[in-house]
A and B are shown apart, each in its own frame.
Chain A
Amino acid sequence: MALFSVFQTTFLLALLSLRTHQSEVLSEPLPWAPESLKVSINSTHQCLHLQWSVHNLAYHQELKMVFQIEISRIKTSNVIWVENYSTTVKGNQVLHWSWESKLPLECAKHFIRMRSAVDDATTPEQRFWSNWSSWEEVDVQNSLGHEPLFVFPKDKLVEEGSNVTICYVSRSQQNNISCYLEGVRMQGQQLDPNVSMFNLYDVAFIRETGTNIYCKVDRGDDIKGIVLFVSKILEEPKDFSCETRDFQTLSCTWDPGRDTGLLKQLPQSYTLFESFSGKKILCKHKSWCNWQVAPESQEMYNFTLTAENYLRKRSVHILFNLAHRVHPMAPFNVLFNDVSVTNATITWKVHSTGNYYTLLCQVELYGEGKVIQKHNVSVKVNGELVLSGLQPDTEYSAQVRCANANHFWKWSEWTRQNFTTVEAAPSEAPDIWRNVKSVQGYCVVTLFWKPLTRLQANGEILFYNIVVKDLDRPSGLQLLSVPAPANRTELTLDQRSYQIHVTANNSVGTSPASVLVVSGDPGDEVEEERVKGTEGGFSLSWKPQLGNITGYVVEWCDRPRDPPCDLQWKHLGPNTTSTVISSDAFRPGVRYNFRIYGISTEMVPHLLEKKTGYSQELAPSDNPRVVMSNLTSHSFTLSWKDYSTESQPSFIRGYHVYLKSKAGQCHPGSEKAVLSDDSVCCKYKIDDPKQKTFVVGNLQPESFYEFLVTPYSAVGEGPHGAFTKVTTPDEYSPMLIRIILPMIFCILLIMILCYLKSQWMKEKCYPDIPDPYKSSVLSLIKSKENPRLTIMNIKDCVPDTIEVVNKHEGTGKSPTEPEAAKPTYLYLLPAEESYSGPGPCICFENFTYNQAASDSASCGHVPVPTKAPSQLGLLTSSENLLTALEKNCMNSLEEIPAGESSLNYVSQVASPMSGEKSSLPTNPPQPELCSEYKMQMAIPLGLAAPSSSGSSSLSSITLLDEGEHYH
């Protein structure tokens, strides 16, 4: 048979060769040459479709042939494509072939021709080709219409990154045409005078509505363009997988990747094909699809997921056994049984996945948000597990999930439940410490304790019991119960030793007791040492104590500057001699004091060491308040006694005293210093922080100085704030002050004394009415000048004139009535003319006499007129005078010693007879020479005339009445 076939082929080839030769001669077509070639255009896809048939091929004949196709552009000689198309041809078959042009077909003429040959694969070089068919011309430009400008291809769909060729066809060669891609001009290549093409390489996605490309005639309004729809590349689906949760449905999911951006123009579809069953479904969603598991038990599945759009197709495959893709549902009915102090039993159920599957379940126990236990349990239907090692009164959370035990695929979702264990008695004794103060002979003990942790408390602490036991009197017990959450209590104890037991209690029971002994003995004071702190804390060490020491306690305050200093303590073992104390509360610049106690076996704390330090020293922030004293012309003293070095932000090492002066010279003991403001001054250094006085000496008198005292420490000195100004006095001022000040003081003292004793002085030295008996002047005069001068005595007086005063009684008439005021006086005074010459007279030297007194207040010697009526008028009209008479006369009369004479002498001040009185219409008597006082005799009542005036003369009358008793 094979031999026959070879023979037939050889025969046919020979025949073909013969016919070819004949055709060259006879110009007849060879058998099996292509004929009826037709070319059509698909502008949308820029495709040329060729269809033809093979000449003389019998109906039943089948021949493997090759067709060589040539495509020329613009002109036939410009061949742009040659392709051999091999196919098996049957008789009368119409053959098809397509070719996609990169250049839009509208932009150039295309010419197509073809020839054929029998396809002998063994000897391709010996093919005998048929004649070429005639050129078929494809010219779309003719059918474009008459518009002046066209741009192609229209609405082309490409993927980003593609290369695209654009062209325009202009109807007029004169037009100058520019083309733009999204507003950017493109450079083209002219194909012929009317056609230009533009190659776009690696086109990018710009927007969902496509990329605008347009061409314009430069001088005209014509614009033509195309929209190039650039799509993002369709991505291959990722993470494609299928699984079942119930053996009825396979749920397949995948990640479709990014969007192509052209969902309207370029919709994409997802199809799922299973090769064993041959089923195919179109997925409604772009990321998942459900596949119904066949009722018959199909174990293996081979899925192909195909994502497809117009431009691209992407496929992914998975092959799996259904039993290996089981994703169990979450366990349910998770319960806790038999929950005790430290144990609990968890039970759960799982959804059935067939009788042949065992599930592996995982149980996780959470405490305080962390996984503390993890267990794996094999489960058929129901699961159970005992959780042990739990803490009392603690809330836990347990969660369960399951997976296929034989072929793990995925865990189910977790199912979670909470439970709380039962309470137990506190397991640890509270950590206690104390602070002891002695107040008025008593020990005030503040007892502190730290709250138990959850692990120690085993439940909610309700109260703390405190038992105070008097060690000196075993029977003396005191019990206190302090409700939680208090962490301290205060006890007032006497100066004996007490043992204090502290226990914490919850609803179940009592904790072990903490014991501490408080002794009345305050212990020995120990020296304080300095310690250097760091950011990590204070590293403390102490000498080990010999003897029975059960441990050490380090005590400090977190906030030493605040009144409740937040006492802290740390218990350390008996073999420990160092520790690091750190606290978040430690701040730079704050001094922390640490006390280290040793605890004896009797639980008595003994203060061993005291340490103080800063976690970080800071430069002093304040300068002391300086008081200046003892200012002299050459020195002054500065003192800052109230400056506390303890409250400074670093250990004060001393002080700097800065002194500024105009002279700028520094004396020994000081050094020159330049301040931050470039001013120069002298600096005195005080190395002893306890020295808080300083004498600034060697100063110049009457000079201006400025000083500043600032502390310094290891990290620097205090701020250079405002200087205090001082000016030294001159040298003599102090001396003058020493003299003048006492003098001023003495003068002031005298003046004060004089003022205080002014009354006494007045009485003594210048009384208003001198009392001759009391006058020391008199005695002075008497003793010095005239020892014969003495006080006049009545007995010594020889009356030479008697004045009789007639006094009316009971008249009651107004003195203004002339009739009632008839003069009834008998004047016995001697006539002036009868007074002859000088005679014996008595003179009083009145040192205090003055005009005012003479006018109004003196017991006026009323000049007696020669005529009675006129004198009456004077008396009645001058009330002031009478009033004055009342007072002074009374006084004078009282002062007259009684009993020496039947006559009373009234001391009278002589009127100087000047002023108004001189104008009186009376004949004023002539002043007596050398006589200011006159002796006057009172007349017995029967002889006295009644007073013409009522009240105004009452005093006189009284005086006169009293005169009835005269002797």
Chain B
Amino acid sequence: MQAQLLWRTLPSLVLGLLFLSMPAMGSCSDKYPELLGQLQKQADFMQHTNTLLDLYIRSQGLDKNGLKEHCRERPGAFPSKDALQRLSRRVFLRTLDTTLGHVLLRLAALEQDIPKAQDLEMLSVVKLNIRGFKNNIHCMAQLLPGSSETTEPTPTSPGASPSPTPTLDTFQRRLEGCRFLHGYHRFMRSVGQVFREWGKSLSRSRRHSPHQGLLKGARRMQLSGRNKRLMPRVQLAPGSHRGAPGG
């Protein structure tokens, strides 16, 4: 049991350090492909249910026939893959950041229902990973062209409510938590796919459009004009042009 926990925890810790590496260094990478690759890998990692959902199901006793079937994402709790694909990159990143902010709040609420110290430790690692991922999102937003322009409004997410209504009894809260985590993993899978599409378009544009170099030059110009030093935790507020401290 201890070995299994270690096996689960270790890669998470390594990835967490990876997430936090850039903020710890105090600056964003201006290498778009590198950052995109990291985001993609991190999203791929976070989509796995063994990082969070499986742990929750086990600790809450939801791993029983008749219950597992009800641990399904509630439609609308998280943006669908199609909805994400339709968003512009900037809005996509903002949506992603906002949604993950809500996830963090919800995880804090779920923490109350997890009694075991080992499980709590796993949960804190997951939260650490999400914070790192949000920082990378911020860096990516800075690399996008026209980051100072007025952006489109972020689509409202039905699942944006930070926690279920407090009147819910423990059982309903438990099921809701399970559904939420299921949606979270699905959401991260969709996010990973979107990032993969970004990567494909990047390689296509490299092959076919020499204009990319100009684009990157323009981005660098934008970056050079601002202080790139980041706060450890950055959240993109809807409608804002620059990252604001939050968390």
Interface string of B119-141 (1 = CB under 8 A from A): 00000000000000000000000
* B115 close to A212 (CB less than 8 A): no
- Chain B nearest Cβ from A809, distance in angstroms: 121
* A212 close to B62 (CB less than 8 A): yes
Indicate whether B208 reaches chain A with its CB closer than 8 angstroms: no
Interface string of A145-176 (1 = CB under 8 A from B): 00000010011000000000000000000000
Bound-state CA distance A264–B120 (Å) is 14
Indicate whether A96 reaches chain B with its CB closer than 8 angstroms: no
* B171 close to A208 (CB less than 8 A): no
Specify which chain A residues have a CB less than 8 angstroms from the CB of B115 in the assembled complex.
208-209, 263-264
* B61 close to A212 (CB less than 8 A): yes
* B169 close to A227 (CB less than 8 A): yes
Given A221-B70, A264-B115, decide whether A227 and B170 contact each other with a Cβ distance below 8 A. Answer: yes
Bound-state CA distance A209–B174 (Å) is 10
- Chain A nearest Cβ from B169, distance in angstroms: 4
Given A180-B66, A214-B66, A263-B115, decide whether A209 and B60 contact each other with a Cβ distance below 8 A. Answer: yes
Please report which residues of chain A, range 492-539, place their CB below 8 angstroms from some CB of chain B when the two chains form the complex.
none
A209: nearest residue on chain B (CB-CB)?
B60
- Chain B nearest Cβ from A236, distance in angstroms: 24
* A212 close to B171 (CB less than 8 A): yes
- Chain B nearest Cβ from A699, distance in angstroms: 77
Specify which chain B residues have a CB less than 8 angstroms from the CB of A206 in the assembled complex.
61
* A210 close to B70 (CB less than 8 A): no
- Chain A nearest Cβ from B83, distance in angstroms: 24
* B60 close to A214 (CB less than 8 A): no
- Chain A nearest Cβ from B61, distance in angstroms: 5
Please report which residues of chain B, range 7-38, place their CB below 8 angstroms from some CB of chain A when the two chains form the complex.
none
Indicate whether B59 reaches chain A with its CB closer than 8 angstroms: yes
Given A212-B171, A264-B115, decide whether A223 and B70 contact each other with a Cβ distance below 8 A. Answer: yes
* B61 close to A154 (CB less than 8 A): no
The 8 Å CB contact of B59, one of A154, A209, A225, is A209
Specify which chain A residues have a CB less than 8 angstroms from the CB of B113 in the assembled complex.
209
Specify which chain B residues have a CB less than 8 angstroms from the CB of A280 in the assembled complex.
none
* A226 close to B171 (CB less than 8 A): yes
The 8 Å CB contact of B67, one of A154, A208, A211, A214, is A214
- Chain B nearest Cβ from A90, distance in angstroms: 41
Given A183-B66, A208-B115, A212-B61, decide whether A223 and B175 contact each other with a Cβ distance below 8 A. Answer: yes
Indicate whether B65 reaches chain A with its CB closer than 8 angstroms: yes
* A211 close to B66 (CB less than 8 A): no
* A154 close to B170 (CB less than 8 A): yes
* A212 close to B59 (CB less than 8 A): no
Interface string of A186-219 (1 = CB under 8 A from B): 0000000000000000000011111111101000
Indicate whether A182 reaches chain B with its CB closer than 8 angstroms: yes
* A208 close to B66 (CB less than 8 A): no
The 8 Å CB contact of B170, one of A180, A208, A210, is A210
Indicate whether B116 reaches chain A with its CB closer than 8 angstroms: yes
The interface centre, meaning the residue of A182, A225, A226 with most chain B CB atoms within 10 A of its CB, is A225
Bound-state CA distance A947–B32 (Å) is 123
A154: nearest residue on chain B (CB-CB)?
B169
Interface string of B150-193 (1 = CB under 8 A from A): 00000000000000000001111011000000000000000000
* A182 close to B64 (CB less than 8 A): yes
The 12 sampled A-B contact pairs (Cβ below 8 Å) are A154-B170, A155-B170, A180-B64, A183-B66, A206-B61, A208-B115, A210-B61, A211-B61, A212-B64, A212-B171, A226-B170, A264-B112
Q: Which residues of A contact B (CB under 8 A)?
A: 151, 154-155, 180, 182-183, 206-214, 216, 221, 223-227, 263-264
Further contacts, 15 of them, CB under 8 A, given A183-B66, A213-B171: A154-B169, A155-B169, A180-B64, A182-B61, A183-B65, A183-B67, A208-B115, A209-B114, A212-B60, A212-B62, A214-B67, A224-B171, A224-B172, A227-B174, A264-B115
